[in-house]
Each structure stands twice: as C-alpha cells, then as structure tokens.
C-alpha cells in the first residue's frame, strides 16, 4: 500500500495538531523531517500522521514533557530496542510514586508483603526496578502507617493482584494484533492512564452493588 | 468495658492531632463536646479518639474539606441514617469526575456501553446517580474521543468490571466484622483512596510480567 502524501496544512488538519506544534516537534526531533520538494515545502505521509497521533496521546492523555516524549520516540526509532523496552520506558515516564510521609518505617514490612504476593502469583520476571512496584510498596507502607493494617493481609493483596492480572491480560490481548509499533505505544499509553480511571470507577460501582447487599438491613416484616 | 477518659492534652498526644485542630473540630461540631469538669476543663473518651482518627483519615488520606467531613459525621450521628447511606455520602465526597473535554459527543455511546456491562454483570441496584458511574462514563467517552476505541469492547469492559467486583468483595469482607461505624467509615475511606493506587501499581506490575511473555522475542537458537 502506497503511503498517501500531504503538505503541512493537511497534516495539521487530519491530525488535529496545530502547525505551530508540528513545527516544534520537527525542531525537537520528535517528528522526522518530511521529504522536501523545495526549500520551504515538504511532503508528509502516514508515518508522520501516526507519530503525531502518538505524540498527542503522550502529551494530552499522559501529560508528559517533551523530554519524556523524546525518550520514548528515540526508543521506538532505535532498531536495536525491543518493543518491550519501549513499553517499559513509557511506563516509567507515566508512573509517579507519591512522596513518602510518615510511612518510611513501614517500608521494609511493605516490601516483604509485596514479595509474598509476587511469589504467591508466580510473577517471575517482575523487575525490582519497575516504578509500579515502587508505587505498590509506597501504598502498602502508607496503608500500614495510617493504621488500616487490620484490613491488610496477603490474601487481600492477592485478590487485588489476581484482579490486576486479569485486567493486564485483557489489555495486552487488545495490542497483540497491531502491526505498527507507534500505534501499540499509543494505545498502551491511553490504556495505562485511562484504564486506571476506568478500574477505579468500576470498583466504586461494585462497592455500591456489594455493600447494598451487605449493609442495608432487610425491610422489617409487617405483622 | 468502661471507656477510658482523658484530658485534651492526652487526647492530642494519643491521636496525633494538634490541640489547635481538636479545638477547631469542637467549634465546627465535627467532634462532640467532652464532659465538662470545670468551665475550662473537659474529659474525653475512646469515642472522641475514634472520631479524631476518622477525621484525620478524611483530611489526610482523602483530602476532604471541613464541610465534606461535616456531612459525613452528621450522617454517622443521625440514628435514622443507615451505614450504607453514610458510605454513599463518603463516596460522593471523595470521587471527582474530570471535566469532559472533546468527549461530549461520545457520551451517549459511552452510556450504552456502561449499561451493557452493568447488565452483563447483573449489577442490579447500581444507582444511576453514583458518582463512580459518572467517572466510568466520562472515562469511556474519553477513550472513544482519543481514538482508542478499537481496543474498547464490551468483553474488555466486562473483564475490568469482573476484576473490580472481585476487589470490591474482598474490600467489603474486611469491613464486615467491625462493630464501630466510625471505624468502618475510616477504613472504607482509606481503602477507597489507597486501594485505587494499589490496584494501579499491581496492574503496572502485571503489565510487565504479561508483556515480557508476549513482546520479548525468544533468544535466537545458536546453530
């Protein structure tokens, strides 16, 4: 399939990205140069459009800086880099671990709990440097520090981890058949960010449904 | 069991809440008055300690305003109000639905998808006014608006909803045997907020584990 070519104005119209932003991305090297037809005019194709759509997701959905976006597209364009590593780079750029406050002394205990869950789930290959692991440890330490530990147990954490794995498998299944690496990363970014929000909302809905069963007294029988 | 009594200074030391904050909560009616032993001195008991621990969770973990905290403790102290309704009040105070941007025209489509998932899950009694439902709809509309819809399907949403239900049941099981309503709400607040963060981190860890299996090329066989 021949790639359609277009001028800057059409690239802007189709992608929904302003000409000023496209020029910025060209200057910053986020977007590869077009094929020049004269010193002031160049032609762009579908790969530029796909890259712009990816950059837009990284900026607007994930709120990343140009420097973080640069690291991701450099990784994508490096033929030596596996797609898996680009996914890791993207994940590291997106995930922020809240500053610990008061939970410092519970950190070791939290690490042991997370180790127990990883072993229970058989999560071989879970890297200790994964920022998501740091987020889990910080959160468990905070739960311990604020005194909610009676509710915290390996079985409860394992229920969370099992649910997380079900969702992660469903997420990845949606990416398996996509041929273009730019599009894989674009969808992975959108789902990493918005999937959390989806899960949070659905968990809130499930809380209502389940607690209605458990916490509402049955209506009194009329004598 | 007789409730232990204590003076203001001890209540502050045991709860970790400053005397100034305790006085503010007394003035605002968040904390019931102590039993006065002289015009300038009062005694407090375990119920004051429990209430302060709850207020602390509502302020520090959930970041709620004094007005929102007031609504929750008023609901707790009203003998006509079911614990379920106090849980709903708490949930409404905590959940924020991001402002729609560009996703307005996908809202109806999003509602239909959410309806389909609710029916599929058999979530009878899921209220249309639940702020979590609004969060799910807004998120689905945003996923559609940013062009990630090829990955979005009722089976994928249903995988999310099933996982959310597993987690919600585990959450509620931890609250079932707690006798004091203040403590139920305190733990529910902490887990509503920190449970999302836990699930987000575990999902990120699961992404790594599952994508390592799917996206890393097996090492080339040595001839």
Enumerate the β-bridge partners of residue A147: none
Pairing of strands B35-38, A41-43: unpaired
Asked whether residue A26 carries a pLDDT value surpassing 50, the answer given is: yes
Q: Which residues 22-81 of chain A have a CB within 8 Å of chain B? A: 53, 57, 60-61
Query: For residue A137, what are the CA distances in angstroms to A128, A158, B1?
Result: 11, 14, 38
Judge contact between A76 and A185, C-beta under 8 A.
Answer: yes
Nearest CA in chain B to A152: B174
Asked whether residue B2 carries a pLDDT value surpassing 60, the answer given is: no
Q: Tens of pLDDT along A41-51? A: 899 999 999 99
> Residue B141 corresponds to which tokens in the numbers above?
């509309």
Which of A172, A72, A89, A161 has its CA nearest to residue B214?
Answer: A172
Question: Across residues A73-101, what is the average pLDDT?
Answer: 89
Q: Is there a contact between B146 and A57 if contact means CB atoms under 8 Å apart?
A: yes
- DSSP characters over A73-114: HHHHH-TTS-HHHHHHHHHHHH--PPPPSS-GGGHHHHHHHH
At A214 the pLDDT is: 74
* Residue whose tokens read 């399907």: B153
**Mean pLDDT lowest among A102-111, A214-223, B78-87, B118-127:** A214-223
The minimal CB distance from B204 to the residues A132, A206, A212 is found for A132
Q: Is there a contact between A205 and B84 if contact means CB atoms under 8 Å apart?
A: no
Q: Is B27 helix (H, G, I), strand (E, B) or coil?
A: helix
Give the pLDDT band of residue B100 (cuts 50, 70, 90).
low
Enumerate the β-bridge partners of residue B215: none
* Interface pTM, i.e. ipTM: 0.89
Q: Is there a contact between A202 and B175 if contact means CB atoms under 8 Å apart?
A: no
Question: Across residues B90-107, what is the average pLDDT?
Answer: 82
Chain B residues near residue A174 by CB distance under 8 angstroms: 150-151, 156
At B201 the pLDDT is: 96
């Amino acid at each position: 399939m021949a790639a359609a070519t277009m001028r800057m104005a059409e690239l802007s119209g189709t992608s929904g990205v302003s000409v000023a932003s496209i020029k910025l991305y060209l200057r910053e090297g986020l977007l590869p140069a077009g094929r020049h037809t004269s010193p002031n005019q160049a032609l762009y194709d579908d790969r530029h459009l796909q890259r712009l759509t990816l950059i837009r997701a990284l900026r607007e959905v994930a709120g990343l800086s140009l420097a973080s976006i640069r690291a991701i597209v450099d990784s994508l364009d490096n033929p030596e880099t596996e797609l898996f590593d680009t996914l890791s780079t993207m994940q590291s750029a997106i995930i922020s671990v809240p500053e610990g406050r008061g939970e410092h002394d519970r950190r070791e205990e939290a690490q042991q709990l997370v180790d127990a869950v990883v072993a229970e789930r058989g999560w071989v290959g879970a890297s200790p440097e994964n920022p998501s692991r740091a987020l889990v440890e910080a959160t468990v330490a905070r739960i311990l520090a604020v005194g909610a530990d009676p509710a915290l147990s390996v079985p409860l954490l394992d229920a969370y981890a099992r649910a997380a794995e079900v969702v992660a498998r469903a997420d990845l299944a949606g990416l398996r058949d996509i041929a273009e690496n730019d599009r894989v990363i674009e969808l992975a970014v959108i789902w990493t960010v918005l999937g959390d929000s989806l899960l949070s909302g659905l968990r809130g809905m499930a809380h209502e449904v389940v607690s209605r069963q458990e916490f509402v007294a049955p209506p009194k029988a009329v004598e």
